[in-house]
Structure 1
Amino acid sequence: ASVLAGARLVRPLHALTGAAQRLRDGEEHASVPVSGDDEIGRLASAFNDMSAHRARLEEQRKAMVSDVAHELRTPLSNIRGWLEAAQDGLADPDPAFVSSLLEEAVQLQHIIDDLQDLAAADAGALRLHPEPVRTGELLSQVAAAHQARAETAGVRLKVEGAAPAPELHADPVRLRQAVGNLVSNAVRHTPAGGTVTLRAYGDGSKGVVVIEVEDTGTGIPADDLPYVFDRFWRAEKSRSRRTGGSGLGLAIVRKLTEAHGGTASATSTEGEGSAFTLRLPAAGPVGPDGMTTAP
Protein backbone atom coordinates (compact mmCIF):
# COMPACT_ATOMS: atom_id res chain seq x y z
CA ALA A 1 0.00 0.00 0.00
CA SER A 2 2.85 2.38 0.85
CA VAL A 3 4.60 1.61 -2.44
CA LEU A 4 1.40 2.18 -4.43
CA ALA A 5 0.66 5.43 -2.59
CA GLY A 6 4.23 6.61 -3.11
CA ALA A 7 4.09 5.80 -6.82
CA ARG A 8 0.82 7.70 -7.22
CA LEU A 9 2.42 10.68 -5.51
CA VAL A 10 5.77 10.56 -7.33
CA ARG A 11 4.47 10.20 -10.90
CA PRO A 12 2.63 13.56 -11.07
CA LEU A 13 5.54 15.26 -9.29
CA HIS A 14 7.92 13.86 -11.90
CA ALA A 15 5.59 15.19 -14.62
CA LEU A 16 5.55 18.61 -12.98
CA THR A 17 9.33 18.63 -12.69
CA GLY A 18 9.72 17.68 -16.35
CA ALA A 19 7.26 20.35 -17.47
CA ALA A 20 9.03 22.99 -15.35
CA GLN A 21 12.35 22.05 -16.95
CA ARG A 22 10.83 22.28 -20.45
CA LEU A 23 9.46 25.69 -19.55
CA ARG A 24 12.90 26.74 -18.34
CA ASP A 25 14.45 25.50 -21.60
CA GLY A 26 12.20 27.74 -23.66
CA GLU A 27 9.22 25.58 -24.56
CA GLU A 28 6.38 28.05 -25.12
CA HIS A 29 3.57 26.08 -23.52
CA ALA A 30 4.48 23.14 -21.28
CA SER A 31 1.54 21.47 -19.54
CA VAL A 32 0.90 18.41 -17.39
CA PRO A 33 -2.17 16.16 -17.18
CA VAL A 34 -4.53 16.81 -14.28
CA SER A 35 -5.53 13.46 -12.80
CA GLY A 36 -7.63 14.43 -9.81
CA ASP A 37 -9.00 17.10 -7.50
CA ASP A 38 -6.53 16.56 -4.69
CA GLU A 39 -3.60 18.82 -3.78
CA ILE A 40 -1.42 17.43 -6.57
CA GLY A 41 -4.21 17.92 -9.10
CA ARG A 42 -4.75 21.52 -8.00
CA LEU A 43 -1.00 22.13 -8.19
CA ALA A 44 -0.99 20.73 -11.74
CA SER A 45 -3.92 22.99 -12.70
CA ALA A 46 -2.15 26.03 -11.25
CA PHE A 47 1.00 25.11 -13.18
CA ASN A 48 -0.96 24.78 -16.44
CA ASP A 49 -2.60 28.17 -15.86
CA MET A 50 0.79 29.73 -15.18
CA SER A 51 2.25 28.16 -18.32
CA ALA A 52 -0.65 29.37 -20.47
CA HIS A 53 -0.38 32.87 -18.99
CA ARG A 54 3.35 32.92 -19.69
CA ALA A 55 2.71 31.87 -23.29
CA ARG A 56 0.18 34.70 -23.73
CA LEU A 57 2.63 37.24 -22.30
CA GLU A 58 5.34 35.99 -24.64
CA GLU A 59 3.01 36.35 -27.63
CA GLN A 60 2.14 39.89 -26.52
CA ARG A 61 5.83 40.72 -26.10
CA LYS A 62 6.65 39.48 -29.60
CA ALA A 63 3.73 41.40 -31.06
CA MET A 64 4.80 44.52 -29.16
CA VAL A 65 8.36 44.32 -30.49
CA SER A 66 7.08 43.80 -34.03
CA ASP A 67 4.63 46.71 -33.77
CA VAL A 68 7.22 49.08 -32.29
CA ALA A 69 9.65 48.21 -35.07
CA HIS A 70 6.95 48.82 -37.66
CA GLU A 71 5.92 52.16 -36.16
CA LEU A 72 9.50 53.43 -35.99
CA ARG A 73 10.43 52.11 -39.41
CA THR A 74 7.82 54.16 -41.28
CA PRO A 75 8.99 57.70 -40.36
CA LEU A 76 12.63 56.66 -40.41
CA SER A 77 12.26 55.23 -43.92
CA ASN A 78 10.61 58.45 -45.07
CA ILE A 79 13.38 60.59 -43.58
CA ARG A 80 16.05 58.40 -45.15
CA GLY A 81 14.31 58.47 -48.51
CA TRP A 82 14.12 62.28 -48.56
CA LEU A 83 17.75 62.64 -47.50
CA GLU A 84 18.96 60.15 -50.12
CA ALA A 85 16.96 62.00 -52.77
CA ALA A 86 18.62 65.26 -51.74
CA GLN A 87 22.05 63.64 -51.75
CA ASP A 88 21.48 62.32 -55.28
CA GLY A 89 20.27 65.71 -56.47
CA LEU A 90 16.70 64.52 -57.01
CA ALA A 91 15.20 66.82 -54.37
CA ASP A 92 15.97 70.42 -53.53
CA PRO A 93 16.37 71.32 -49.84
CA ASP A 94 13.70 74.00 -50.09
CA PRO A 95 11.24 74.96 -47.30
CA ALA A 96 8.79 72.24 -48.38
CA PHE A 97 11.57 69.66 -48.15
CA VAL A 98 12.55 70.80 -44.65
CA SER A 99 8.90 70.88 -43.59
CA SER A 100 8.40 67.28 -44.73
CA LEU A 101 11.45 66.11 -42.79
CA LEU A 102 10.29 68.01 -39.72
CA GLU A 103 6.83 66.44 -39.93
CA GLU A 104 8.32 62.94 -40.03
CA ALA A 105 10.67 63.75 -37.12
CA VAL A 106 7.74 65.07 -35.05
CA GLN A 107 5.77 61.88 -35.78
CA LEU A 108 8.76 59.82 -34.67
CA GLN A 109 9.08 61.87 -31.48
CA HIS A 110 5.39 61.39 -30.71
CA ILE A 111 5.72 57.62 -31.00
CA ILE A 112 8.78 57.57 -28.73
CA ASP A 113 7.07 59.83 -26.16
CA ASP A 114 3.97 57.60 -26.19
CA LEU A 115 6.07 54.48 -25.69
CA GLN A 116 7.93 56.17 -22.83
CA ASP A 117 4.66 57.10 -21.14
CA LEU A 118 3.37 53.53 -21.46
CA ALA A 119 6.62 52.08 -20.13
CA ALA A 120 6.50 54.42 -17.12
CA ALA A 121 2.86 53.50 -16.45
CA ASP A 122 3.61 49.77 -16.69
CA ALA A 123 6.50 50.16 -14.24
CA GLY A 124 4.41 52.20 -11.81
CA ALA A 125 6.79 55.13 -12.31
CA LEU A 126 4.38 57.54 -13.98
CA ARG A 127 4.66 60.74 -11.98
CA LEU A 128 1.48 62.64 -11.24
CA HIS A 129 1.22 66.12 -9.72
CA PRO A 130 -2.39 66.28 -8.53
CA GLU A 131 -4.14 69.54 -7.76
CA PRO A 132 -7.74 70.80 -7.79
CA VAL A 133 -9.03 70.75 -11.37
CA ARG A 134 -12.29 72.21 -12.64
CA THR A 135 -13.46 69.87 -15.36
CA GLY A 136 -15.32 72.58 -17.25
CA GLU A 137 -12.17 74.67 -17.64
CA LEU A 138 -10.14 71.61 -18.60
CA LEU A 139 -12.60 70.59 -21.33
CA SER A 140 -12.64 74.14 -22.69
CA GLN A 141 -8.84 74.14 -22.86
CA VAL A 142 -8.79 70.81 -24.72
CA ALA A 143 -11.49 71.99 -27.14
CA ALA A 144 -9.56 75.20 -27.86
CA ALA A 145 -6.37 73.23 -28.53
CA HIS A 146 -8.13 71.02 -31.11
CA GLN A 147 -10.42 73.66 -32.63
CA ALA A 148 -8.19 74.37 -35.64
CA ARG A 149 -7.88 70.69 -36.52
CA ALA A 150 -11.65 70.21 -36.17
CA GLU A 151 -12.39 73.21 -38.41
CA THR A 152 -9.98 71.89 -41.04
CA ALA A 153 -11.82 68.54 -40.98
CA GLY A 154 -15.22 70.26 -41.10
CA VAL A 155 -16.18 68.87 -37.67
CA ARG A 156 -18.06 70.86 -35.04
CA LEU A 157 -16.41 70.71 -31.60
CA LYS A 158 -18.54 71.69 -28.60
CA VAL A 159 -18.43 71.51 -24.79
CA GLU A 160 -21.47 70.69 -22.68
CA GLY A 161 -21.87 70.51 -18.93
CA ALA A 162 -23.62 71.88 -15.90
CA ALA A 163 -22.25 74.95 -14.12
CA PRO A 164 -20.46 74.96 -11.83
CA ALA A 165 -18.53 72.02 -13.23
CA PRO A 166 -17.51 69.22 -10.83
CA GLU A 167 -13.98 69.30 -9.47
CA LEU A 168 -11.27 66.66 -9.58
CA HIS A 169 -8.05 66.20 -7.65
CA ALA A 170 -5.88 65.22 -10.60
CA ASP A 171 -2.79 66.05 -12.61
CA PRO A 172 -4.12 68.67 -15.06
CA VAL A 173 -1.37 68.07 -17.64
CA ARG A 174 -1.90 64.30 -17.74
CA LEU A 175 -5.68 64.65 -17.70
CA ARG A 176 -5.56 67.10 -20.62
CA GLN A 177 -3.35 64.59 -22.41
CA ALA A 178 -5.91 61.80 -21.89
CA VAL A 179 -8.93 63.88 -22.95
CA GLY A 180 -6.93 65.38 -25.81
CA ASN A 181 -6.16 61.91 -27.14
CA LEU A 182 -9.88 61.09 -27.09
CA VAL A 183 -10.77 64.31 -28.91
CA SER A 184 -8.04 63.81 -31.50
CA ASN A 185 -9.28 60.26 -32.11
CA ALA A 186 -12.90 61.42 -32.37
CA VAL A 187 -12.12 64.21 -34.85
CA ARG A 188 -10.08 61.82 -36.98
CA HIS A 189 -12.98 59.37 -37.29
CA THR A 190 -15.81 61.88 -37.74
CA PRO A 191 -16.68 62.89 -41.31
CA ALA A 192 -17.20 66.51 -42.34
CA GLY A 193 -20.44 67.89 -40.98
CA GLY A 194 -20.28 65.72 -37.86
CA THR A 195 -20.02 66.74 -34.23
CA VAL A 196 -17.69 65.92 -31.35
CA THR A 197 -19.09 66.70 -27.91
CA LEU A 198 -17.20 66.99 -24.63
CA ARG A 199 -19.11 66.89 -21.36
CA ALA A 200 -18.50 66.37 -17.65
CA TYR A 201 -20.86 65.65 -14.78
CA GLY A 202 -20.86 64.13 -11.32
CA ASP A 203 -22.31 60.71 -10.57
CA GLY A 204 -23.70 61.16 -7.08
CA SER A 205 -24.48 57.47 -6.60
CA LYS A 206 -20.84 56.42 -7.05
CA GLY A 207 -18.84 59.46 -5.96
CA VAL A 208 -17.14 59.89 -9.32
CA VAL A 209 -16.81 62.53 -11.99
CA VAL A 210 -17.62 61.38 -15.51
CA ILE A 211 -15.91 62.85 -18.56
CA GLU A 212 -17.33 61.89 -21.95
CA VAL A 213 -16.14 62.46 -25.51
CA GLU A 214 -18.89 61.57 -27.95
CA ASP A 215 -18.78 61.73 -31.74
CA THR A 216 -21.07 61.16 -34.68
CA GLY A 217 -18.40 59.33 -36.65
CA THR A 218 -18.02 55.99 -38.32
CA GLY A 219 -18.38 53.95 -35.14
CA ILE A 220 -16.59 50.76 -34.12
CA PRO A 221 -17.75 47.22 -34.97
CA ALA A 222 -19.00 45.26 -31.97
CA ASP A 223 -16.31 42.59 -32.45
CA ASP A 224 -13.56 45.22 -32.28
CA LEU A 225 -14.92 47.22 -29.35
CA PRO A 226 -13.24 45.12 -26.60
CA TYR A 227 -9.81 45.87 -28.11
CA VAL A 228 -9.97 49.65 -28.61
CA PHE A 229 -7.68 50.34 -25.62
CA ASP A 230 -5.08 47.76 -26.68
CA ARG A 231 -1.72 49.01 -27.88
CA PHE A 232 -1.33 49.44 -31.62
CA TRP A 233 -4.93 48.39 -32.21
CA ARG A 234 -6.63 49.82 -35.29
CA ALA A 235 -10.14 49.19 -36.55
CA GLU A 236 -9.01 49.83 -40.12
CA LYS A 237 -5.88 47.71 -40.48
CA SER A 238 -5.13 49.02 -43.96
CA ARG A 239 -5.17 52.74 -43.26
CA SER A 240 -1.91 54.64 -43.16
CA ARG A 241 -0.09 55.62 -39.98
CA ARG A 242 -0.53 59.29 -40.87
CA THR A 243 -4.33 59.10 -40.99
CA GLY A 244 -4.67 56.38 -38.38
CA GLY A 245 -2.25 57.60 -35.73
CA SER A 246 0.25 55.43 -33.92
CA GLY A 247 -2.32 53.16 -32.29
CA LEU A 248 -1.06 54.15 -28.83
CA GLY A 249 -3.37 57.05 -27.98
CA LEU A 250 -6.22 55.06 -26.44
CA ALA A 251 -3.83 52.77 -24.57
CA ILE A 252 -2.32 55.89 -22.98
CA VAL A 253 -5.80 57.16 -22.12
CA ARG A 254 -6.52 53.98 -20.19
CA LYS A 255 -3.16 54.02 -18.38
CA LEU A 256 -3.46 57.69 -17.39
CA THR A 257 -7.02 57.15 -16.16
CA GLU A 258 -6.02 54.11 -14.12
CA ALA A 259 -3.08 56.07 -12.65
CA HIS A 260 -5.68 58.52 -11.30
CA GLY A 261 -7.68 55.66 -9.77
CA GLY A 262 -10.33 55.73 -12.49
CA THR A 263 -11.57 53.62 -15.38
CA ALA A 264 -11.94 54.12 -19.13
CA SER A 265 -14.65 52.54 -21.28
CA ALA A 266 -16.17 52.87 -24.73
CA THR A 267 -19.53 52.31 -26.38
CA SER A 268 -20.24 52.51 -30.08
CA THR A 269 -22.79 51.89 -32.80
CA GLU A 270 -21.29 51.21 -36.17
CA GLY A 271 -22.21 53.93 -38.64
CA GLU A 272 -23.60 56.25 -35.93
CA GLY A 273 -20.72 57.17 -33.65
CA SER A 274 -18.82 56.35 -30.47
CA ALA A 275 -18.63 57.57 -26.88
CA PHE A 276 -15.55 57.24 -24.69
CA THR A 277 -16.07 57.63 -20.95
CA LEU A 278 -13.59 58.34 -18.15
CA ARG A 279 -14.76 57.79 -14.58
CA LEU A 280 -12.52 59.48 -12.02
CA PRO A 281 -12.74 59.85 -8.23
CA ALA A 282 -14.30 63.19 -7.31
CA ALA A 283 -12.34 65.77 -5.31
CA GLY A 284 -15.04 65.65 -2.63
CA PRO A 285 -18.42 64.04 -2.00
CA VAL A 286 -20.81 64.31 -4.93
CA GLY A 287 -24.17 65.78 -4.02
CA PRO A 288 -27.56 64.77 -5.42
CA ASP A 289 -27.27 67.53 -8.04
CA GLY A 290 -24.13 65.91 -9.44
CA MET A 291 -21.78 68.62 -8.13
CA THR A 292 -18.84 67.94 -5.84
CA THR A 293 -18.72 69.52 -2.41
CA ALA A 294 -15.79 70.27 -0.16
CA PRO A 295 -14.39 67.14 1.52
Structure 2
Amino acid sequence: MRRKLEGKAYVEQYLQSLTHEMKSPLAAIRGAAELLQEPLPEAERQRFVRNIAEQQQRLTETIDKLLALAEVEQHGWLQGHERVALAPLFAQLAEALAPQLRASGVQLQVHTPDAELALAGDPYLLRQALHNLLDNAIAFSPAGGTVVLRAERAAHARIALLVEDAGSGVPAYALQRVFEHFYSLPRPATGQRSSGLGLSFVREVARLHGGEASLRNARERRRAGAPGAWLKTAQCRRAGTALCLSEVAAARRARRSSAASRRSPPLPRPWPPPTRRAWRSPCRPSPCPSCSRSAGLLRRNRGR
Protein backbone atom coordinates (compact mmCIF):
# COMPACT_ATOMS: atom_id res chain seq x y z
CA MET A 1 0.00 0.00 0.00
CA ARG A 2 2.81 2.40 0.85
CA ARG A 3 4.47 1.78 -2.51
CA LYS A 4 1.19 2.53 -4.27
CA LEU A 5 0.78 5.79 -2.34
CA GLU A 6 4.37 6.78 -3.05
CA GLY A 7 3.85 6.04 -6.74
CA LYS A 8 0.68 8.13 -6.79
CA ALA A 9 2.43 11.06 -5.10
CA TYR A 10 5.31 10.75 -7.57
CA VAL A 11 2.94 10.88 -10.56
CA GLU A 12 1.07 13.86 -9.12
CA GLN A 13 4.31 15.76 -8.55
CA TYR A 14 5.43 14.88 -12.07
CA LEU A 15 2.20 16.15 -13.60
CA GLN A 16 2.29 19.37 -11.60
CA SER A 17 5.85 20.10 -12.70
CA LEU A 18 5.09 19.23 -16.32
CA THR A 19 1.98 21.43 -16.35
CA HIS A 20 3.97 24.33 -14.94
CA GLU A 21 6.70 23.91 -17.55
CA MET A 22 4.24 23.74 -20.45
CA LYS A 23 2.31 26.86 -19.47
CA SER A 24 5.09 29.29 -20.40
CA PRO A 25 5.74 28.16 -24.01
CA LEU A 26 2.01 27.71 -24.66
CA ALA A 27 1.33 31.24 -23.46
CA ALA A 28 4.12 32.57 -25.69
CA ILE A 29 2.71 30.71 -28.71
CA ARG A 30 -0.79 31.99 -28.03
CA GLY A 31 0.41 35.58 -27.66
CA ALA A 32 2.46 35.46 -30.85
CA ALA A 33 -0.44 33.90 -32.77
CA GLU A 34 -2.80 36.65 -31.64
CA LEU A 35 -0.36 39.36 -32.72
CA LEU A 36 0.14 37.73 -36.11
CA GLN A 37 -3.55 38.23 -36.84
CA GLU A 38 -2.99 41.98 -36.91
CA PRO A 39 -1.18 43.93 -39.65
CA LEU A 40 2.52 44.07 -38.74
CA PRO A 41 5.77 45.05 -40.42
CA GLU A 42 7.53 42.13 -42.08
CA ALA A 43 10.41 42.20 -39.60
CA GLU A 44 8.04 41.99 -36.63
CA ARG A 45 6.06 39.23 -38.30
CA GLN A 46 9.21 37.16 -38.88
CA ARG A 47 10.24 37.67 -35.26
CA PHE A 48 6.94 36.31 -33.96
CA VAL A 49 7.12 33.38 -36.37
CA ARG A 50 10.59 32.52 -35.05
CA ASN A 51 9.26 32.82 -31.50
CA ILE A 52 6.50 30.30 -32.23
CA ALA A 53 9.02 27.90 -33.77
CA GLU A 54 11.36 28.22 -30.78
CA GLN A 55 8.60 27.59 -28.25
CA GLN A 56 7.36 24.62 -30.25
CA GLN A 57 10.89 23.22 -30.23
CA ARG A 58 11.05 23.74 -26.48
CA LEU A 59 7.80 21.82 -25.98
CA THR A 60 9.00 18.99 -28.19
CA GLU A 61 12.30 18.80 -26.32
CA THR A 62 10.53 18.71 -22.96
CA ILE A 63 8.21 15.90 -24.02
CA ASP A 64 11.01 13.84 -25.61
CA LYS A 65 13.29 14.17 -22.59
CA LEU A 66 10.44 13.44 -20.22
CA LEU A 67 9.64 10.21 -22.04
CA ALA A 68 13.30 9.18 -22.05
CA LEU A 69 13.64 9.98 -18.35
CA ALA A 70 10.48 8.06 -17.45
CA GLU A 71 11.74 5.04 -19.38
CA VAL A 72 15.05 5.12 -17.52
CA GLU A 73 13.52 5.68 -14.09
CA GLN A 74 11.14 2.74 -14.31
CA HIS A 75 14.07 0.30 -14.59
CA GLY A 76 15.85 -0.62 -11.39
CA TRP A 77 18.70 -2.18 -13.35
CA LEU A 78 20.19 -2.22 -16.82
CA GLN A 79 18.34 -4.39 -19.29
CA GLY A 80 21.56 -5.39 -21.06
CA HIS A 81 25.32 -5.04 -20.63
CA GLU A 82 28.02 -4.83 -23.25
CA ARG A 83 31.58 -3.61 -23.40
CA VAL A 84 31.65 0.10 -24.26
CA ALA A 85 35.03 1.42 -25.40
CA LEU A 86 35.40 5.07 -24.44
CA ALA A 87 37.67 6.23 -27.28
CA PRO A 88 35.11 5.54 -30.07
CA LEU A 89 32.34 6.93 -27.85
CA PHE A 90 34.20 10.23 -27.42
CA ALA A 91 34.82 10.43 -31.17
CA GLN A 92 31.10 9.97 -31.90
CA LEU A 93 30.19 12.74 -29.46
CA ALA A 94 32.70 15.16 -30.97
CA GLU A 95 31.32 14.53 -34.45
CA ALA A 96 27.69 14.92 -33.36
CA LEU A 97 28.36 18.21 -31.55
CA ALA A 98 30.45 19.81 -34.30
CA PRO A 99 27.61 21.99 -35.73
CA GLN A 100 26.63 23.25 -32.27
CA LEU A 101 30.25 24.04 -31.44
CA ARG A 102 30.71 26.06 -34.65
CA ALA A 103 27.50 28.02 -34.04
CA SER A 104 28.43 28.93 -30.47
CA GLY A 105 32.12 29.61 -31.10
CA VAL A 106 33.19 27.11 -28.44
CA GLN A 107 35.99 24.57 -28.85
CA LEU A 108 35.81 20.98 -27.65
CA GLN A 109 39.02 19.50 -26.31
CA VAL A 110 38.78 15.71 -26.16
CA HIS A 111 41.35 13.79 -24.16
CA THR A 112 41.20 10.48 -25.98
CA PRO A 113 41.39 7.66 -23.41
CA ASP A 114 43.48 4.54 -23.81
CA ALA A 115 42.18 1.94 -26.23
CA GLU A 116 41.70 -0.61 -23.45
CA LEU A 117 39.73 1.79 -21.24
CA ALA A 118 36.12 0.55 -21.34
CA LEU A 119 33.21 -0.17 -19.08
CA ALA A 120 30.24 -2.51 -19.09
CA GLY A 121 26.91 -0.81 -19.70
CA ASP A 122 24.39 0.48 -22.19
CA PRO A 123 26.13 2.41 -25.02
CA TYR A 124 23.01 4.40 -25.97
CA LEU A 125 22.36 5.60 -22.41
CA LEU A 126 26.01 6.49 -21.85
CA ARG A 127 26.20 8.42 -25.12
CA GLN A 128 22.99 10.31 -24.35
CA ALA A 129 24.11 11.17 -20.81
CA LEU A 130 27.45 12.54 -22.00
CA HIS A 131 25.67 14.41 -24.80
CA ASN A 132 23.48 16.14 -22.19
CA LEU A 133 26.53 17.11 -20.13
CA LEU A 134 28.36 18.50 -23.16
CA ASP A 135 25.26 20.34 -24.34
CA ASN A 136 25.02 22.10 -20.96
CA ALA A 137 28.73 22.90 -20.95
CA ILE A 138 28.55 24.46 -24.43
CA ALA A 139 25.46 26.49 -23.54
CA PHE A 140 27.10 27.98 -20.44
CA SER A 141 30.52 28.65 -22.01
CA PRO A 142 31.34 32.07 -23.47
CA ALA A 143 32.29 32.46 -27.12
CA GLY A 144 35.91 31.45 -27.55
CA GLY A 145 35.80 29.19 -24.50
CA THR A 146 36.86 25.57 -24.29
CA VAL A 147 34.94 22.53 -23.13
CA VAL A 148 36.99 19.54 -21.99
CA LEU A 149 35.88 15.91 -22.18
CA ARG A 150 38.10 13.34 -20.48
CA ALA A 151 38.09 10.01 -18.70
CA GLU A 152 40.34 8.60 -16.02
CA ARG A 153 40.62 5.66 -13.71
CA ALA A 154 39.30 6.42 -10.25
CA ALA A 155 39.50 4.76 -6.87
CA HIS A 156 37.70 1.49 -6.11
CA ALA A 157 38.01 0.19 -9.69
CA ARG A 158 35.89 2.97 -11.16
CA ILE A 159 36.04 5.19 -14.22
CA ALA A 160 35.33 8.92 -13.97
CA LEU A 161 33.91 10.66 -17.05
CA LEU A 162 34.44 14.40 -16.70
CA VAL A 163 33.11 17.42 -18.58
CA GLU A 164 34.58 20.85 -17.79
CA ASP A 165 33.62 24.23 -19.17
CA ALA A 166 34.95 27.76 -18.95
CA GLY A 167 31.74 29.34 -17.68
CA SER A 168 31.25 31.50 -14.63
CA GLY A 169 30.19 28.56 -12.47
CA VAL A 170 26.95 27.57 -10.78
CA PRO A 171 25.48 29.79 -8.04
CA ALA A 172 25.64 28.33 -4.56
CA TYR A 173 21.86 28.27 -4.17
CA ALA A 174 21.51 26.12 -7.32
CA LEU A 175 24.20 23.50 -6.66
CA GLN A 176 21.83 21.33 -4.63
CA ARG A 177 18.99 21.59 -7.15
CA VAL A 178 20.54 21.17 -10.59
CA PHE A 179 19.62 17.47 -10.72
CA GLU A 180 15.96 18.06 -9.84
CA HIS A 181 13.26 17.56 -12.44
CA PHE A 182 12.49 20.69 -14.49
CA TYR A 183 15.04 22.85 -12.65
CA SER A 184 17.23 24.92 -14.96
CA LEU A 185 19.22 28.15 -15.00
CA PRO A 186 19.02 30.84 -17.70
CA ARG A 187 21.64 30.63 -20.43
CA PRO A 188 24.13 33.52 -20.23
CA ALA A 189 23.90 34.35 -23.95
CA THR A 190 20.13 34.23 -24.50
CA GLY A 191 18.59 34.12 -21.02
CA GLN A 192 16.46 31.14 -22.07
CA ARG A 193 16.00 28.06 -19.93
CA SER A 194 16.12 24.44 -20.98
CA SER A 195 13.63 21.72 -20.12
CA GLY A 196 15.45 21.01 -16.85
CA LEU A 197 15.45 17.27 -17.50
CA GLY A 198 18.91 16.70 -18.97
CA LEU A 199 20.81 16.42 -15.69
CA SER A 200 18.04 14.31 -14.15
CA PHE A 201 18.55 11.89 -17.03
CA VAL A 202 22.31 11.91 -16.39
CA ARG A 203 21.78 11.09 -12.72
CA GLU A 204 19.51 8.14 -13.51
CA VAL A 205 21.93 6.75 -16.10
CA ALA A 206 24.76 6.95 -13.56
CA ARG A 207 22.61 5.18 -10.98
CA LEU A 208 21.79 2.36 -13.39
CA HIS A 209 25.52 1.86 -14.01
CA GLY A 210 26.32 1.69 -10.31
CA GLY A 211 27.76 5.21 -10.16
CA GLU A 212 26.76 8.76 -9.36
CA ALA A 213 26.63 12.15 -11.06
CA SER A 214 27.83 15.33 -9.39
CA LEU A 215 28.48 18.95 -10.29
CA ARG A 216 30.88 21.34 -8.60
CA ASN A 217 32.62 24.59 -9.30
CA ALA A 218 36.37 24.54 -9.85
CA ARG A 219 37.37 25.96 -6.47
CA GLU A 220 35.12 23.55 -4.61
CA ARG A 221 36.61 20.63 -6.55
CA ARG A 222 40.11 21.50 -5.42
CA ARG A 223 39.04 22.11 -1.83
CA ALA A 224 37.01 18.90 -1.58
CA GLY A 225 39.71 16.79 -3.21
CA ALA A 226 37.30 14.06 -4.20
CA PRO A 227 39.63 11.29 -5.44
CA GLY A 228 38.85 9.97 -8.87
CA ALA A 229 35.87 12.25 -9.44
CA TRP A 230 37.54 15.52 -10.41
CA LEU A 231 40.72 16.67 -12.11
CA LYS A 232 42.60 19.66 -10.80
CA THR A 233 42.65 22.53 -13.24
CA ALA A 234 44.64 25.72 -13.31
CA GLN A 235 41.70 27.86 -14.45
CA CYS A 236 39.69 28.93 -11.43
CA ARG A 237 36.66 29.95 -13.49
CA ARG A 238 36.00 26.49 -14.81
CA ALA A 239 32.97 24.53 -13.75
CA GLY A 240 32.66 20.84 -14.35
CA THR A 241 30.36 17.88 -14.20
CA ALA A 242 31.50 14.34 -13.47
CA LEU A 243 29.83 11.06 -14.24
CA CYS A 244 31.58 8.37 -12.18
CA LEU A 245 30.73 4.83 -13.23
CA SER A 246 31.67 1.36 -12.05
CA GLU A 247 34.29 -0.41 -14.15
CA VAL A 248 34.29 -3.95 -12.81
CA ALA A 249 32.30 -6.09 -10.42
CA ALA A 250 34.76 -5.31 -7.61
CA ALA A 251 32.90 -2.11 -6.90
CA ARG A 252 29.66 -4.03 -6.50
CA ARG A 253 31.30 -6.45 -4.07
CA ALA A 254 32.66 -3.51 -2.06
CA ARG A 255 29.19 -1.99 -1.85
CA ARG A 256 27.68 -5.30 -0.74
CA SER A 257 30.26 -5.75 2.01
CA SER A 258 29.74 -2.17 3.15
CA ALA A 259 25.97 -2.69 3.30
CA ALA A 260 26.45 -5.93 5.23
CA SER A 261 28.67 -4.18 7.76
CA ARG A 262 25.99 -1.57 8.38
CA ARG A 263 23.36 -4.15 9.30
CA SER A 264 22.55 -4.39 13.00
CA PRO A 265 23.88 -7.57 14.67
CA PRO A 266 21.33 -10.15 15.85
CA LEU A 267 20.23 -10.00 19.46
CA PRO A 268 22.06 -12.49 21.74
CA ARG A 269 20.07 -15.56 22.76
CA PRO A 270 19.71 -16.13 26.51
CA TRP A 271 21.84 -18.98 27.87
CA PRO A 272 21.02 -21.28 29.42
CA PRO A 273 17.54 -21.41 27.88
CA PRO A 274 14.68 -20.84 30.31
CA THR A 275 13.05 -24.00 31.73
CA ARG A 276 9.69 -24.61 33.37
CA ARG A 277 9.99 -24.55 37.13
CA ALA A 278 8.14 -27.10 39.28
CA TRP A 279 5.55 -25.94 41.80
CA ARG A 280 6.99 -24.95 45.13
CA SER A 281 5.34 -23.88 48.29
CA PRO A 282 5.69 -20.19 49.05
CA CYS A 283 6.25 -21.15 52.69
CA ARG A 284 9.87 -22.19 52.66
CA PRO A 285 11.94 -23.87 54.05
CA SER A 286 9.02 -25.89 55.59
CA PRO A 287 5.50 -25.49 54.19
CA CYS A 288 2.63 -24.61 56.44
CA PRO A 289 -0.25 -27.12 56.96
CA SER A 290 -2.52 -25.36 54.48
CA CYS A 291 0.14 -25.50 51.74
CA SER A 292 0.79 -29.15 52.51
CA ARG A 293 -2.91 -29.96 52.28
CA SER A 294 -3.16 -28.06 48.96
CA ALA A 295 -0.21 -29.96 47.54
CA GLY A 296 -1.65 -33.27 48.74
CA LEU A 297 -5.03 -32.56 47.17
CA LEU A 298 -3.29 -31.60 43.90
CA ARG A 299 -1.35 -34.88 43.87
CA ARG A 300 -4.46 -36.92 44.61
CA ASN A 301 -6.44 -35.14 41.87
CA ARG A 302 -3.67 -35.83 39.36
CA GLY A 303 -3.70 -39.47 40.40
CA ARG A 304 -7.39 -39.76 39.60
TM-score by length of 2: 0.63
Instruction: Name the counterpart of 1:266.
Output: 215
Residues 147-181 of structure 1: per-residue CA shift (max 9 Å, x gap): 22222222111101432251122211111110011
Count of residues in Structure 1 that have an aligned counterpart in Structure 2: 230
Which of residues 270, 279, 287 is equivalent to 2:244? 279
- Superposition deviation, residue 254 in structure 1: 0.2
Residues 104-153 of structure 1: per-residue CA shift (max 9 Å, x gap): 33321210122223333333378744322111211221122222222222
Instruction: Name the counterpart of 2:184.
Output: 234
The one-letter code sitting in structure 1 at the alignment partner of 2:65 is D
After superposition, the Cα gap between the structure-2 partners of 1:144 and 1:242, relative to the gap in structure 1 and judged at 3 Å, is: farther
The one-letter code sitting in structure 1 at the alignment partner of 2:125 is R
User: CA RMSD of the aligned region, Å?
Assistant: 3.7
| Structure 2 CA distance for aligned equivalents of residues 239 and 177 of structure 1 | 24
The one-letter code sitting in structure 1 at the alignment partner of 2:242 is T
Q: Is the 8 A contact 2:90 2:112 kept in 1?
A: no
Q: Is residue 84 of structure 2 the alignment partner of residue 119 of structure 1?
A: no
After superposition, the Cα gap between the structure-2 partners of 1:144 and 1:155, relative to the gap in structure 1 and judged at 3 Å, is: same
After superposition, the Cα gap between the structure-2 partners of 1:77 and 1:259, relative to the gap in structure 1 and judged at 3 Å, is: same
Which of residues 244, 249, 271 is equivalent to 2:198? 249
| Structure 1 CA distance for aligned equivalents of residues 30 and 78 of structure 2 | 35
| Structure 2 CA distance for aligned equivalents of residues 284 and 163 of structure 1 | 20
TM alignment of 1:1-295, pairs within 5 A? 64-87=14-37, 101-124=52-75, 128-203=79-154, 205-235=155-185, 243-269=192-218, 272-282=237-247
Instruction: Name the counterpart of 2:301.
Output: none
TM-score by length of 1: 0.64
Aligned-pair identity (%): 32
- Superposition deviation, residue 209 in structure 1: 1.6
| Structure 2 CA distance for aligned equivalents of residues 240 and 74 of structure 1 | 20
Gaps of 5+ in 2: 220-235, 252-304
The one-letter code sitting in structure 1 at the alignment partner of 2:237 is E
SS in 2 for 1:209: strand
- Superposition deviation, residue 97 in structure 1: 7.2
Residues 6-25 of structure 1: per-residue CA shift (max 9 Å, x gap): xxxxxxxxxxxxxxxxxxxx
Residues 75-119 of structure 1: per-residue CA shift (max 9 Å, x gap): 223333444445556598x99877654443332121012222333
